[in-house]
Structure 1
Amino acid sequence: MVADSKSAQRPTKPAVGSAAGASGEVSAGSRYHEDYARAEREPLAFWGEVAGGIDWMRSAATVFDPSAGPYGRWFSGAVCNTCYNAVDRHVERGRGAQPAIIYDSPVTGSKRVISYAGLLAEVRILASVLREMGVSKGDRVVIYMPMVPEAVFAMLACARLGAIHSVVFGGFAANELATRLEDAEPKVVLAASCGVEPQRVVPYKPLLDEALTLTSVKPSACLILQRPQAEAKLVKGRDFDWAAMTDKARAAEKGADCVPVAATDPLYILYTSGTTGRPKGVVRDNGGYMAALLWSMKALYGIEPGEVFWTASDVGWVVGHSYIVYAPLIFGATSLLYEGKPVGTPDAGAFWRVIAEHSVKALFTAPTALRAIKKEDPDGELLKRYDLKGFRTLFLAGERADPATIQWAEKLLGVPVIDHWWQTETGWCICGNPVGLGQLPVKYGSTGVPMPGYRLDALDEAGKPVPTGTMGSIAIKLPLPPGCLPTLWQADERFRESYLADFPGYYRSGDAGFIDEDGYVFVMGRTDDIINVAGHRLSTGGIEEVIAAHQDVAECAVIGVRDEIKGEVPCGFIVLKRGVERSPADIEREIIALVREKIGPVAAFKAAVTVGRLPKTRSGKILRGTMKKIADHDSWTMPATIEDAGALDEVAAALGGRDGA
């Protein structure tokens, strides 16, 4: 997909910070290029050395077997246990007293520090309970829980037994939970009675009960964590009380040891949306995943063992799996588990309070969270209450990080703000800026450079690499590095059709962007976010970048709206910063003029709409696809992952009042 108006979309040379102004010192001696080249030149030696940091029960017969699976398998023949690497080995080596998890829940007023020894005790007991419920190696267990320590215990207990867990975001709609139950066929379901939001309590048990009536799959048991905010009614013979069962096991001094599994065995299944409406079960293996995560904690995130690493996500998402649970614990860091929001628990200073109180060294969150804080506290007045002197780095992922938001955070925090790009399917970072190897210069608008093992090209529709700086479909050469999905759950052919068929020899990421002359990757949006305006292929991300630079805009989204003459025309939705008193109509006119100036008349940008909030998923992604269906008067359904259904109503009302929208 060649951009006919490439020069109109971006400057010839993307803005480069001197370490991006306030973004810290750039190491003149970065090892990135050396490590990346070695991983490309000698992948077996590179990843074999990384795997030396894992405790194996049996070493791999071969680091990579190209004959296995749809594209090959990493560490074939190796035997291991991920729970052992995340918990037991740290205790055995004298670090049992070190905090493993810090739980901070402003929505319930609870805080708890769990040492590695304490974590081991909890996981051994829960694993013994699951074993008595009939869970064994290879069985599936569905986990339907909020951000509480027991959710982490559950994941690790499954890994301990060699069972395959599938975490479903707590509070997910019953029909969506049912489809995942149907596909995973779990032996047991672990659930909490409720989740706690800033303004409401969400009962989970009625949703679970309904889901179980919608599916033919019937687990042998459900273990329910009763929370005092909304206790659940248990079904006799099927439902069991979490506390009662674990207390009984504890009193009997029971515990389960680690079960050996193949490195290529599944650790978990994580479902992501499928184009057919049937969710895709992304499979994550044990060995390759551990190796990739272990490498990333030091090299990418710059963390040392024992330091506090905070990923402000949810265990229901891939980010939570990788960087709340597995990576920090395998590496021996302390992971912060936060049950709250960036604003409203109690205010837009919540993140700064947590960083200061718990001595967080690095925070990983979504750009949406920063934009929410920026909207409520644009001048950072709430930050002045807290001492963040030990805080080193802010990492962003999950949604494109516009330069205006990055620069706002840099100025506010005075630390490097690093955007990076990855997917549910990859399990860890595709492109980023490896601060642990010596930070590279920041280029605003770029997600950084490919991590070792990822070989990227921007391709045209025929699957041919496009010239440097030209928009295309971003694809990864096979084989994918360790940590990425080897296939979909019981669906090798669907995996090939979904990811490998379009561009032979490549994994199709589904994202569009370009690669510049220095090898930096600019991810501008999903391939379906490239709009065709009278024959000109334009990135909605590029237009959003211009709009976000306006001084009064907190966040924005651009979609392509069907047009009889031009095919599509862009329509921008803007959310203003708190305290802006100017007329929205005046601001909209300024934004239209700004887009015309920066991108050109070719964009045909004539519609800017002010709304109170943008519709998003619970992970912070803006629902551009649904917004487009509303704008085009196509049929649409309420997304199961939506955070606030009223936001879509507001968008629909705004679109209904606009000519051409």
Structure 2
Amino acid sequence: MTETTADPRGSYPPAAAFAATANAGQELYDQAAADRDAFWAEQAGRLDWQQPFERVLDWSAAPVAQWFVGGRLNVAYNCVDRHVLAGHGDQVAIHWEGEPGDSRAITYRELLAEVSRAANYLTELGLVAGDRVAIYMPMIPEAIVAMLACARLGLPHSVVFAGFSPTALRQRVDDARARLVITADGQWRRGKSAPLKEAVDEALYAHGGTPSSVEHVLVVRRTGIEVPWTEGRDLWWHETVTPASPEHQAEPFEAEHPLFILYTSGTTGKPKGILHTTGGYLTQTSYTHHAVFDHKPGRDVYWCTADIGWITGHSYIVYGPLANRTTQVVYEGTPNFPDEHRHWQIIEKYGVTIYYTAPTLVRTFMKWGRAIPTAHDLSSIRLLGSVGEPINPEAWRWYREVIGANRTPVVDTWWQTETGAIMISPLPGVTTTKPGAAMTPLPGISARVVDEMGEPVSHGETEANGYLVIDQPWPSMLRGIWGDMERYRATYWERFAEQGWYFAGDGAKLDTDGDLWVLGRVDDVMNVSGHRISTAEVESALVAHPSVAEAAVVGAEDPTTGQGIVAFVILTTEATDTGSALIEELKTGVAKEISPIARPREIHVVPELPKTRSGKIMRRLLRDTAEGRQLGDTSTLVDPSVFEAIRASKEAG
């Protein structure tokens, strides 16, 4: 590939050699603009349908869409079986790299056998289509097998990130009414085994010892640590799934059959169970993986560094890549074990050609220094991707120059748990990219940047920041919040109900060229290392401590994690310890209650919080304080002088 340099404005046109063989060209935009339904019907044709669909889209019950009406298909069949039947059974599907250094190469034929075994055993347990299964696992092959087995049987899965606490797990298990939990004895983290089965037991028998809906716990032996055991309920994977038959006939399901529930933070303390269905979701994940990453089956080695506990792992480790017959790397551990060279060693070992990671990790690599990646041969890489949050221009340039040798395209992708798949991104063979810009909606996607009244914002005016809305339904869109359709309507559709637009809380602006820049959250959800955490969840965990009377939490800019959690707490009159020991105790408590990801960066003890006359805490002003900015409008506060006391407390801390 020839080197591509920036033009005088700091943008990067695609290299001619890359564009000449790119999967997606300008014609895709033209096709989608000419006939949107026909465009999506063509993308759906990338899949095998056991029964063809009769209608592309039914939007008559908006805001709940039905895509590919009348069609029937099986997700696991599309991800595994059809590749084996087409003669690609010996192609490696997964190069799995364990943190301690163990590894496995799993072909599509072997993956099919493993998924079939798991499907047969789940059927033996009495699970039927529609039953829910919770998956609480590290990044091991059995986690992917479990997801595909559930998809094969029409069992909506709820994958819970293995870093979440027992309380968070229980909340999600109860909400989904899961009949089965699939987990592991433990997971490797920086050379040490951390228990998982123990956390499952704590979750299932929390709340005064009342068992949840779970009938069985299926356990993979990963670390070999001792685990608590309940006879009759707990089952070893190697004693049940491994001996099962490797033959299984996949049955098709309706395009709108529920595929998975994935919980994400909301502006209240209760997580939202985002529901995704089958045909539309798989169509858009397959299409976007093919077009955005320019993936060539049988030639590329793809690596998405996400965890299956997040939507990126669902869409761009499991479903999109496997539907496209990808050979991919799946890594169990952290990027700095045993040292900071680990990712680059993996890229060298497997000849990774497409690398998709988060801005947080890019900034971490920057902090570690360019000497580490430049000590390795990264010449196999031909495309880089970014996901999880807006990437700052400095990190974008470093990523391209140091990791991509100043020649690879960078696709900075905007999407959400709710959208299911990439919505806004450059096409690497078409788009002249700008560091930090999301650029334009993909072909088939329609988005706008509008003001509070729904009017278009002006191009290029820095003060004309607006709201990012999606004004047309898309195939991989969420179909609701599990068990709470009113919350679904209120959360995503109420703000622009008159126009019928989707809004999920991100701000954006348009530059003078009309290209789109995502500015991050405008609601009370923080984005820490690409993980969404609600202010309400953290505040609830803080107030649970007997010394805390009230708490307010904001996400403040952080050079590494994007946002860091900053908390302001008012102590009770009974609080005796007000010093560093209490602060540490509060931080640890939040990490235990929610996840280590949610551990506050700073906690400040203050005498009062800034409130409006209606009693609402003005987090916008607290964010100004946390980031050291001049305060915005304080006219609506009951007592504007409260900030003098907050500043004094912050400086003292």
TM class by smaller structure: 0.7 to 0.9
**Quick one: which of 566, 575, 583 aligns to 1:627?**
566
Letter in 1 for 2:324: F
User: How far did residue 490 of structure 1 move?
Assistant: 2.6
**Quick one: which of 229, 232, 238 aligns to 1:234?**
229
Letter in 2 for 1:622: Q
Match of 2:256 in 1: 264
The yes-or-no answer on 1:490 pairing with 2:431 is no
Q: 1:333 to 1:571 in 2, by over 3 A?
A: closer
SS, match of residue 525 in structure 1: strand
Letter in 2 for 1:84: Y
**Contact 2:555–2:566 (Cα < 8 Å) also in 1:** no
User: How far did residue 374 of structure 1 move?
Assistant: 1.2
**Contact 1:224–1:241 (Cα < 8 Å) also in 2:** yes
Q: 1:571 to 1:255 in 2, by over 3 A?
A: closer
**Quick one: which of 128, 140, 143 aligns to 2:132?**
140
**Aligned 1:216-615 pairs, distance under 5 A:** 217-249=212-244, 253=245, 255-306=247-298, 307-342=300-335, 344-376=336-368, 378=369, 380-413=370-403, 414=405, 415-435=408-428, 438-469=429-460, 470-479=464-473, 481-504=474-497, 505-528=500-523
| Unmatched tracts of structure 1, length 5 or more | 1-12, 532-569, 576-613
**Quick one: which of 82, 85, 104 aligns to 1:92?**
85
Letter in 2 for 1:62: R
Match of 1:176 in 2: 168
**Contact 1:310–1:363 (Cα < 8 Å) also in 2:** yes
Moved more, 465-474 or 186-195: 465-474
**Contact 2:418–2:477 (Cα < 8 Å) also in 1:** yes
User: How far did residue 108 of structure 1 move?
Assistant: 2.1
**Contact 1:318–1:427 (Cα < 8 Å) also in 2:** yes
Deviations 1:70-104 (Å, cap 9, x if unpaired)? Answer: 34211011100000000000001110000011101
Letter in 2 for 1:475: V
C-alpha separation between the residues in 2 aligned to 1:511 and 1:165? 27
SS, match of residue 423 in structure 2: strand
User: How far did residue 399 of structure 1 move?
Assistant: 2.0
User: How far did residue 656 of structure 1 move?
Assistant: 7.8
Deviations 1:133-176 (Å, cap 9, x if unpaired)? Answer: 11111111110100000000000000111111110011311111
**Contact 1:189–1:223 (Cα < 8 Å) also in 2:** yes
**Contact 1:476–1:509 (Cα < 8 Å) also in 2:** no
Q: 1:207 to 1:300 in 2, by over 3 A?
A: same
Match of 1:63 in 2: 56
User: How far did residue 210 of structure 1 move?
Assistant: 1.4
Deviations 1:600-636 (Å, cap 9, x if unpaired)? Answer: xxxxxxxxxxxxxx6x6xxxx634xx41556999999
**Quick one: which of 158, 166, 174 aligns to 2:150?**
158
C-alpha separation between the residues in 2 aligned to 1:651 and 1:390? 47
C-alpha separation between the residues in 2 aligned to 1:74 and 1:503? 23
Q: 1:178 to 1:369 in 2, by over 3 A?
A: same
SS, match of residue 382 in structure 1: helix
User: How far did residue 15 of structure 1 move?
Assistant: 4.6
SS, match of residue 275 in structure 2: strand
**Contact 2:264–2:272 (Cα < 8 Å) also in 1:** yes
The yes-or-no answer on 1:115 pairing with 2:110 is no
Q: 1:185 to 1:76 in 2, by over 3 A?
A: same
User: How far did residue 68 of structure 1 move?
Assistant: 4.1
Letter in 2 for 1:477: D
Deviations 1:165-198 (Å, cap 9, x if unpaired)? Answer: 1100113111111110111111211111111111
Q: 1:650 to 1:407 in 2, by over 3 A?
A: farther
**Quick one: which of 590, 599, 624 aligns to 1:638?**
590
C-alpha separation between the residues in 2 aligned to 1:179 and 1:200? 27
Q: 1:573 to 1:272 in 2, by over 3 A?
A: closer
Please tell me the root mean square deviation across aligned C-alpha atoms, in Å.
3.2
SS, match of residue 284 in structure 1: strand
User: How far did residue 277 of structure 1 move?
Assistant: 1.3
User: How far did residue 646 of structure 1 move?
Assistant: 6.5
Match of 2:69 in 1: 76
Moved more, 218-227 or 30-39: 30-39
Q: Taking structure 2 as the reference length, what is the TM-score of the superposition?
A: 0.79
Letter in 1 for 2:227: A
Deviations 1:477-534 (Å, cap 9, x if unpaired)? Answer: 032x111212222322221111011012110031001123433210111114899xxx
* Number of aligned residues: 556
C-alpha separation between the residues in 1 aligned to 2:212 and 2:78? 33
Q: 1:302 to 1:138 in 2, by over 3 A?
A: same
C-alpha separation between the residues in 2 aligned to 1:357 and 1:641? 36
Identity of aligned residues (%): 37
Letter in 2 for 1:263: A
Q: Taking structure 1 as the reference length, what is the TM-score of the superposition?
A: 0.78
Letter in 1 for 2:117: I
C-alpha separation between the residues in 2 aligned to 1:631 and 1:353? 48
SS, match of residue 327 in structure 1: helix
C-alpha separation between the residues in 2 aligned to 1:28 and 1:335? 24
Deviations 1:226-253 (Å, cap 9, x if unpaired)? Answer: 223423222101001110112332xxx3
C-alpha separation between the residues in 1 aligned to 2:432 and 2:9? 10
**Contact 1:420–1:448 (Cα < 8 Å) also in 2:** no
**Contact 2:164–2:595 (Cα < 8 Å) also in 1:** no
Match of 1:7 in 2: none
**Quick one: which of 159, 167, 171 aligns to 1:167?**
159
**Quick one: which of 10, 14, 27 aligns to 1:16?**
10
Q: 1:656 to 1:412 in 2, by over 3 A?
A: farther
Match of 1:201 in 2: 193
**Quick one: which of 95, 116, 126 aligns to 2:118?**
126
Q: 1:518 to 1:659 in 2, by over 3 A?
A: same
Deviations 1:560-607 (Å, cap 9, x if unpaired)? Answer: xxxxxxxxxx997666xxxxxxxxxxxxxxxxxxxxxxxxxxxxxxxx
SS, match of residue 211 in structure 1: helix
C-alpha separation between the residues in 2 aligned to 1:222 and 1:104? 26
